[in-house]
Amino acid sequence: GAPNTDEDVTVPPTTCERTLEWHTGYVRALVPFQGQLISGSADKEIKFWDPSTGDCTRTLETPSGVASFLVFEDKLFVGLRDGKILVYSTTTWTLERTLEGHAVRSLVTCGDALASGSSDNTVKLWSTKTWTCERTLEGHTSYARALVTTCDNLISCSYDHTVKVWSRTSWT
């Protein structure tokens, strides 16, 4: 038969099922959790949503705008633009501790550490046992915007147009 052309392809229309509109600032973070959505915003609020109804089921206040989230084990890590990482229990939703160090833009677990990328151009590694910063990785010349991990590496990308691959054994 003849190859398909654009005229032969029919794409069904898509429809947004619902819009969740209770934030009053930019929504910068979104993560699924146990059938709900958790959103974080510049309005200094974390909201919990039932995606099937669109209802906001809980709101937590934060001291500054939310930049990123990470759910790991029984913790919700919340990166704030003012230089703090809030650590909440996912069973009680109480604030367990606050880590301070740099304006967080991204979070990821890296072995038994929490890694945070920042607008100060660094990546910090936090012990999840002592909750202290154990190492600061330097090398970006702009925001460390996103982080991912592999078995052997922590990888950071930046507004400086680079992706850096850090060895988890030597941190070089």
Give the type of residue at 144.
Answer: A
Q: Where residue 1 falls among pLDDT bands split at 50, 70, 90?
A: low
pLDDT digits over 102-113, tens only? 889 999 998 889
Q: Give the mean model confidence (pLDDT) for residues 48-60.
A: 94
Per-residue model confidence (pLDDT) at position 7: 66
Interatomic CA distance for residues 77 and 62, integer angstroms: 12
The SS3 of residue 20 is coil
**C-beta of residue 163 within 8 angstroms of C-beta of residue 157:** yes
pLDDT digits over 90-140, tens only? 999 999 999 998 889 999 998 889 999 999 999 999 999 999 999 999 999
Q: Where residue 6 falls among pLDDT bands split at 50, 70, 90?
A: low
Interatomic CA distance for residues 57 and 116, integer angstroms: 28
Q: Give the mean model confidence (pLDDT) for residues 17-31.
A: 91
Of the chain, the percentage scoring pLDDT greater than 90 comes to: 77
